Structure formats: structure tokens, C-alpha cells
């Protein structure tokens, strides 16, 4: 079993829809949680970075972490065709464990259609 | 633009040949990471440096792989005697050690195709 599980999709939604992307994890040592966006044949781009449980909002993006359930989510409001990409969740242990080594999910491919 | 720079962007080689990739991190970042990403998968950690010291290596990094960061600035990743299973995107990332230490900034990647 992988430490981080993510549905690979593809997920197709109409423009303007609210998108919900999720990951589950098994290792309770993970303390920091990130979402990256990756366009085809490009490197991952950091979208959201959160510590521990709670919500964080940035524009149309909201990241949610529930450590008790080992479940994280990314919500995209008013989705646009330019949001079409692969979304990767990533997480790491505390500062004293493993440096900044990230464990990634497989990524969810999102397509926002006109 | 002062982001992470990788070279070459794409390398095609024959099985058994050696290849080398270069990464130039964001200038003020002292931590540098190498990841490997295959099609349909998330990036997998290979190794990381703090300044010139290589602090951790993954079991994925076989004896044919070697990474260096001689002056604590740019880094090279060499793969000797390439195999078809080495075909992947090799991603470099950098981060600072202080505030924002957990935020990794990735380059565009170097795509390796082994024929």
C-alpha cells in the first residue's frame, strides 16, 4: 500500500464548476501538506502549502487538511479551462524528520471544458 | 527569471550510454533535490543536498546513479550504463533552509529516453 493515495482521474468538469480533489495518507508522521499543479511536460508548480489540520484559502483555491481522518482536499472555485492540468498532493514529515523530502500522490488529471 | 533551471530538457540515448543532467537552483536556496517522475506517477525522491553535502539518498538511487553539488551551487546527476527502465523525467527542486523551508520550487525537468 502506498503512503499517499490519490485518484488519478481523469476528472472532466464544465467551466465554472467547483472542483474537489482529494488525497488520503497512512503515515501519521506527515505534518506539512502541499498541492502542486503540473501542466503537460512541465515541472510541478506549488499552489498551496499548509501545516497541520485546518483550511487555507488563496483566491479560487482552498486547501483543507483533516489529520484525524488522514485526508486532504483541494477545492477550486469557478474553474477555468486554464486550470486543466494534473494536480499532485504532496506531504512531508516534521522538520526534524527527512529534511524536505516530499512524498507525492500519483496526481489527478483535471480537464475543464468550455 | 531566477527560477530553477535544468539542462538538457530532453535527452535521447542508447542503452548502455552515460548521461549527465545539470540543475541550477534558485540562487539564495541552499537545499537542492532530485526527483524522478515516470508517466502517470507522482515524482519520487532520489536525493538531496544541503549546500555541498549530500544528506540523503533513496534506495531508488542505484550504484549507476551519482549526484554531485561540488560548490554548493549547481548540481549534476549522472546515470552510467543507462537502461530502458531509466526512461523518466528527472526533476530538480530547491528550497531555503529558513522560513518557507518546506516549499520546494521545481524546474521544468530533464526528460530521458533510453532506446
**pLDDT tens per residue across span B59-109:** 888 999 999 999 889 999 999 999 999 999 999 999 887 655 568 899 999
Q: Determine the Cα–Cα distance for residues A33 and B27; give it in Å rounded to an integer.
A: 25
- Asked if B70 has any chain A CB less than 8 Å from its own CB, the reply is no
Write out chain A residues lying below 8 Å of B103, CB-based. Answer: 34, 46, 49
Model confidence at A1, pLDDT cuts 50, 70, 90, reads confident
Q: Note the pLDDT of residue B96.
A: 82
pLDDT at residue B99 in the model? 57
- A90, A102 contact by CB (below 8 A): yes
Q: Is the pLDDT of residue A56 over 60?
A: yes
Rounded CA-CA distance B53/B68 in Å is 9
- Quick check: A96 pLDDT over 60? no
pLDDT band at A37 (very low <50, low <70, confident <90, very high): very high
Question: Which residues of A, range 78-97, sit inside 8 Å of B by Cβ?
Answer: 88, 90, 92, 95
Mean pLDDT of chain A: 92
Residues in chain B closer than 8 A to A44 (CB atoms): 43, 91, 106
Give the range among B9-23, B51-65, B73-87 with minimum mean pLDDT: B51-65
CB B55 within 8 A of CB B49: yes
Chain A hits for B41, CB-CB cut-off 8 Å, are 106-107
Q: State the average pLDDT over residues A88-98.
A: 77
Tell me the mean pLDDT in the region A89-107.
80
For chain A, what's the residue count?
114
Report d(CA A54, CA B34) in Å as an integer: 30
| Closest C-alpha among B2, B1, B4 to residue B105 | B4
A101/B42 touch (CB, cutoff 8 Å), yes or no: no
Preceding amide of B8 cis, omega within 30: yes
Determine, for residues B43 and A32 on separate chains, whether the beta-carbon distance falls below 8 Å. Answer: no
Amino acid at each position: 500500500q502506498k503512503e499517499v493515495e490519490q485518484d488519478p482521474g481523469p476528472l472532466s468538469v464544465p467551466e465554472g464548476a467547483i472542483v474537489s480533489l482529494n488525497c488520503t495518507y497512512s503515515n501519521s508522521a506527515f505534518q506539512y501538506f502541499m498541492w502542486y499543479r503540473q501542466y503537460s511536460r512541465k515541472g510541478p508548480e506549488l499552489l498551496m502549502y499548509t501545516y497541520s489540520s485546518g483550511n487555507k484559502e488563496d483566491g479560487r483555491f482552498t486547501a483543507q487538511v483533516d489529520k484525524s481522518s488522514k485526508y486532504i482536499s483541494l477545492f477550486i472555485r469557478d474553474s477555468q479551462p486554464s486550470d486543466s492540468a494534473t494536480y499532485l498532493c504532496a506531504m512531508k514529515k516534521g522538520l526534524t524528520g527527512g529534511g524536505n523530502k516530499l512524498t507525492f500522490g500519483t496526481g489527478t488529471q483535471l480537464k475543464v471544458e468550455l | 527569471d531566477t527560477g530553477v533551471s535544468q539542462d538538457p530538457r530532453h535527452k535521447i540515448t542508447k542503452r548502455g550510454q552515460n548521461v549527465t543532467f545539470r540543475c541550477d537552483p534558485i540562487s539564495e536556496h541552499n537545499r537542492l533535490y532530485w526527483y524522478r517522475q515516470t508517466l502517470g506517477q507522482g515524482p519520487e525522491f532520489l536525493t538531496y543536498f544541503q549546500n555541498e553535502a549530500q544528506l540523503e539518498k533513496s534506495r531508488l538511487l542505484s550504484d549507476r546513479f551519482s549526484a554531485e553539488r561540488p560548490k554548493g551551487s549547481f548540481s549534476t546527476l549522472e546515470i552510467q550504463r543507462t537502461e530502458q527502465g531509466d526512461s523518466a523525467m528527472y526533476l530538480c527542486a530547491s528550497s531555503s533552509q529558513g522560513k518557507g523551508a518546506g516549499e520546494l520550487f521545481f524546474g521544468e525537468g530533464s526528460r530521458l529516453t533510453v532506446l
